[in-house]
């Protein structure tokens, strides 16, 4: 790029962005529904909403009467240059509308406050939000810098995510290594943060969890293509990993590993990480949990509160409904009710709880159009009359078409080898 002269691009790409938007898009990519909140204005605001809608991200923005949603330009040349727009002015009335929307959140909901505060808003906005919502028992994640971050600590955010440079700025020191990160992250915990996740770009990351655990990770190996949104992706991955394990015993370890892999997957991609990219990287770096079961691999997992009982008899109350729903959503089941009855009939022949906390309910049926596999984590476990008498924590639901060349026993053996190897 030659300053003072006409420069022509070799290509352009327009993407929705902003820290909060990035978190929403990555969560959606990972299979977690969420809602993006904030302000939009002008034709750029309309474009932003339409782009998010095209990506399947739900939004509930407050439309401002004047100005336009800002455009941030990133120029890739020998050096990367950023030109960030001002954005619209946000009135006190518009801010109050945002507060009212946030008041509808309920206990257990997760709220992410991310990015800088526009000059037209009070710089205490994040602190004001947390103060207003402190009795709602929300899990609030804050990804901001300096005073924006420090000022919310008395309200005990669920998680904060500075990077190592931002952490050093807060305390006026140079962070040299992970030992320094742990030392100063601990100080943020002492000031009120429940969990402190610190990203370190190519040097990995550190998590100090509220249960006293400390996790350190090196950055996964790969070629960095675009670092924009990597930190936001780490936040989304942490939330997804925590939700997958439903706050169980391994919640923070799993959340940390998912966060690191998701952030890296975005850095290794031209755009934000997809579910497949995250899964591939996760399997390479941490395919198994401590019990030998797969924590997160090429399967779709659901949270425990979403489980719905669907079988009768032996399977009644075994909470495999959401797993069946995942299978149905894949389009591989022609008749869900017939498939359900087939799984029930197979279970009557003998338990599919094969031991080691694993069950593989299945059936071979004409109602199945194409072979499929869905998986579900049950953090608290469920009685399944397993061969070893232990509760089931990991459930694989298998669908096989009733064709001459399909042998369900082969599928069972594949699952056994996959889980136990």
**Residue range 358-406, pLDDT digits in tens:** 888 888 888 888 777 777 777 777 788 888 888 888 888 888 888 765 6
Domains 20-33+91-286 and 306-420 share a fold: no
- Band of residue 73 on the pLDDT scale cut at 50, 70, 90: confident
Asked which of 176-185, 337-346, 407-416 is least confident by mean pLDDT, the reply is 407-416
Rounded to whole angstroms, how far apart are CA atoms 270 and 225? 6
pLDDT digits over 242-300, tens only? Answer: 998 776 667 898 899 999 999 999 999 989 999 989 888 876 665 333 333 333 332 33
Task: Please state the CATH superfamily assignment of the domain spanning residues 306-420 in this structure.
Answer: Mannitol-specific EII; Chain A (3.40.930.10)
What is 20-33+91-286's CATH topology?
3.40.1190
Q: pTM of this prediction? A: 0.68
Rounded to whole angstroms, how far apart are CA atoms 172 and 168? 6
Contacts of 97 (CB under 8 A, 6+ apart): 62
What are the extents of the domains in the chain? 20-33+91-286, 306-420
Structure tokens at 184: 């100063």
Q: Residue 215: pLDDT above 80? A: yes
Mean pLDDT across the chain: 82
The whole-number average pLDDT for the span 29-41 is 93
Alpha carbon 159 to its chain centroid, in Å, reads: 14
Residues serving a catalytic function are: 232
More confident position, 78 or 186: 186
The whole-number average pLDDT for the span 127-151 is 93
More confident position, 328 or 206: 206
pLDDT value at residue 382: 78
Q: Residue 317: pLDDT above 50? A: no
More confident position, 67 or 379: 67
């Amino acid at each position: 790029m030659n300053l003072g002269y006409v420069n022509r691009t070799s290509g352009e790409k327009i993407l929705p962005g902003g820290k909060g938007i990035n978190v929403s898009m990555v969560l959606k990519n990972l299979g977690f529904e969420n809602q993006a909140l904030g302000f939009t204005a002008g034709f750029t605001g309309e474009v932003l909403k339409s782009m998010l809608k095209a990506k399947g991200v739900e939004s509930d923005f407050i439309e401002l009467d004047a100005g336009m949603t800002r455009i941030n330009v990133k120029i890739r040349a020998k050096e990367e240059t950023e030109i960030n727009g001002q954005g619209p002015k946000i009135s006190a009335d518009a801010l109050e509308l945002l507060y009212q929307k946030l008041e509808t959140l309920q206990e257990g909901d997760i709220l992410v406050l991310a990015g800088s505060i526009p000059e037209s808003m009070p710089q205490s906005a994040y602190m004001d939000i947390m103060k207003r919502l402190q009795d709602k028992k929300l899990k609030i994640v804050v990804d901001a810098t300096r005073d924006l971050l420090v000022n919310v600590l008395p309200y005990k955010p669920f998680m904060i995510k500075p990077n190592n440079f931002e952490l050093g700025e807060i305390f006026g020191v140079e962070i040299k290594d992970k030992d320094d990160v742990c030392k100063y992250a601990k100080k943020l915990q002492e000031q009120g943060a429940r969990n402190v996740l610190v990203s370190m770009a190519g040097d990995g990351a550190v998590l100090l969890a509220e249960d006293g655990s400390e996790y350190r990770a090196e950055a996964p190996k790969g070629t960095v293509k675009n670092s924009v949104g990597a930190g936001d992706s780490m936040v989304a991955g942490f939330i997804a990993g925590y939700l997958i394990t439903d706050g169980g015993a391994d919640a923070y370890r799993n959340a940390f590993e998912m966060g690191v892999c998701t952030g890296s997957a975005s850095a290794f991609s031209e755009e934000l990480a997809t579910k497949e990219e995250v899964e591939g990287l996760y399997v390479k770096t941490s395919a198994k949990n401590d019990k030998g079961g797969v924590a997160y691999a090429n399967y779709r997992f659901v949270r425990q509160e979403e489980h719905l009982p669907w079988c009768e008899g032996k399977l009644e109350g075994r909470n495999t409904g959401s797993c069946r729903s995942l299978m149905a959503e894949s389009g591989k089941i022609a008749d869900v009710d017939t498939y359900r009855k087939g799984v029930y009939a197979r279970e009557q022949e003998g338990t599919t709880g094969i031991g080691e906390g694993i069950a593989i309910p299945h059936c071979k049926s004409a109602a199945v159009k194409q072979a499929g596999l869905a998986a579900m984590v049950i953090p608290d476990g469920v009685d399944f009359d397993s061969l070893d008498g232990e509760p089931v924590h990991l459930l694989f639901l298998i669908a096989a078409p009733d064709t001459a060349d399909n042998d369900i026993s082969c599928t069972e053996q594949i699952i056994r080898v996959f889980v136990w190897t």
